[in-house]
Chains A and B, each alone.
Chain A
């Protein structure tokens, strides 16, 4: 038993420490940028899965990221707030907006919910373009300051002028987010989400407040989208209304589905593989989108549970082959 716990701690420890070590071996602004994108996509796909856990397919993540990015930017640029407070408020505002629109939205089931969330994303983009006095319209906002340095006099002075440090920052955000998402999923509320996903009329009949919990799941998921949007605007130091549009949102959905939305690790794997692979395939040039689409189609047709379902499937196939051989013998 003790040995198992030790192995468990060791393997998760290595998995946690390993991403922190990558910049020591591979350097360069391009690689760092890809790493940051990968980590962001992991947060996004995992938080989308929490919404999916309560049986809803949301395409509001792009809109919520736009809200988060503009909130944090405007708070820093116009009000001069600390970037950390702004980042937190960006997430909170996204969560509050999601909570407000959530109450009418969750009455809609299945595809209708997905569609109104697409419209929400489209409306946020349009508003960011139109509210010129606040957002400076389609030009976007430039020269957004990087996150404030963390200073403890005499001991610590971390600045975020280099993108490697931004990578460490987003990695920490990811770890905290994943731990929170994992805790939520394995709490009582998370179990209730699953109950709603499997049958919301049954859940309601045993006294579960399905509407309230669906809104809660939507709101929590959007909180992480808001934070990630805020971080991205601070890292890239610019924001435009259509940075996180429809296609961006759809890609998050693809990461989640290809990885497999059934398991916690699914979206993480999906985001990791599908962000890194296209970059590795850069030499293919204009054929690169075909490659991405090919991987997508392959997973959709051959692996119904996504990449995480692969080991189980291989085991079944191997078992069948083994059985056939036994029968033949």
Chain B
């Protein structure tokens, strides 16, 4: 194994990490604000990718415009889901989780009956390679890294700087206390769903540009997203970033040492072992 293979795999690890972090951030936002695990998050990710596919191929718009439209649409879908499905079940953990499984079935089959089961693909706007120190880095992978970490920084600033963001922080720390201070929990929940679904849609659209789009692509993203937030600690944004980096790098580097499947095994094993020593995750609290 030479040094350029290693660097290449590290970069692949970072680009996987970018996707995992985007998916995990949405999950963790919804979890900490609404106290439910939104298992249909992977389906939002998948529909976000299909949105870009249909807007670029049928309407002929350019990728970035399609990305923005699809992201906003998915955010809107998030608000609708919050109103219709998750608000009545807020605080009821098991029932909300099972309702979101019902949503998985519905959303997946809606897409299946509209788009069919064949994988689709669309062109990535990022083409060509960047050569640094003899290592060829493809722009589409690099774009995921940039997008991912850019959005993390933006979300971080949003939570630190804006009133809505501070309200989100307050709710995640103490729901009743926040409500007593006059924070409208219903409105903040809608904002959290909007942001979470928008982030998932962006992740899906970026992945769709590199690989392909299929109705079952959401399951993988959901598994990885859950692994990341568990590893990082439920409801913690820095934790999601650290967890995403760890799992992304394991997924990037392990395959060159063993096979892809064994890499997956090591990833799950690592999470179980870390949880045994820190049951609340890397930076979570009880």
| B21-38 near A? 1/0 per residue, CB < 8 Å | 000000000000000010
Give Cα distance in the complex from A238 to B265, angstroms: 24
Other A-B pairs beyond A122-B223, A126-B261, 20, CB < 8 Å: A107-B276, A108-B279, A109-B279, A112-B279, A116-B271, A119-B271, A120-B272, A126-B262, A253-B98, A254-B101, A257-B94, A286-B109, A289-B105, A289-B109, A290-B105, A292-B105, A297-B85, A297-B99, A301-B88, A301-B99
Residues in chain A near residue B102, CB distance under 8 A: 293, 296-297, 300
User: Which of A129, A130, A293 lies at the interface centre, i.e. has the most chain B CB atoms within 10 A of its CB?
Assistant: A293
B77 within 8 A of A: no
Q: What residues on B are CB-neighbors of A118 within 8 Å?
A: 223, 226
Those of B61-116 within 8 Å (CB) of chain A: 85, 88-89, 92-95, 98-99, 101-103, 105-106, 108-109, 112-113
Write out, one digit per residue, whether chain B residues 219-243 have a CB within 8 A of any chain A CB (1) or not (0).
Answer: 1000100110010001000000000
Which secondary structure dominates chain A's binding surface?
Answer: helix
Interface residues of chain B: helix, strand, loop or mixed (majority)? helix
A304 contacts the other chain (Cβ, under 8 Å)? yes
CB of A7 within 8 A of chain B? no
B105 touches A300 (CB 8 A): no
What are 24 A-B interface contacts by the 8 Å CB criterion? Answer: A104-B272, A107-B279, A108-B275, A108-B279, A110-B93, A112-B230, A112-B279, A123-B269, A127-B265, A246-B219, A257-B95, A286-B112, A286-B113, A289-B105, A289-B106, A289-B108, A290-B109, A292-B105, A293-B103, A296-B105, A300-B99, A301-B99, A304-B92, A304-B95
- Taken together as a complex, chains A and B put the C-alpha atoms of A33 and B276 apart, in Å, by 41
Give complex CA distance A239, B105 in Å: 26
Chain A nearest CB: distance from B210 CB in Å?
24
Q: Are A123 and B230 in contact (CB under 8 A)?
A: no
B264 part of interface (Cβ distance < 8 Å): yes
- Contact B276 A293, beta carbon cutoff 8 Å: no
CB neighbours (8 Å) of A250 from chain B are: 101
Name the one of B101, B265, B275 contacting A123, with C-beta atoms under 8 angstroms. Answer: B265
Which interface class (under 10, 10 to 19, 20 to 34, 35 or more) fits B?
Answer: 35 or more
One of A116, A130, A296 near B272 (C-beta < 8 A): A116
Whether a CB of chain A sits under 8 angstroms from the CB of B156 is: no
List CB contacts (< 8 Å) of A104-154 with chain B: 104, 107-112, 115-116, 118-120, 122-123, 126-127, 129-130
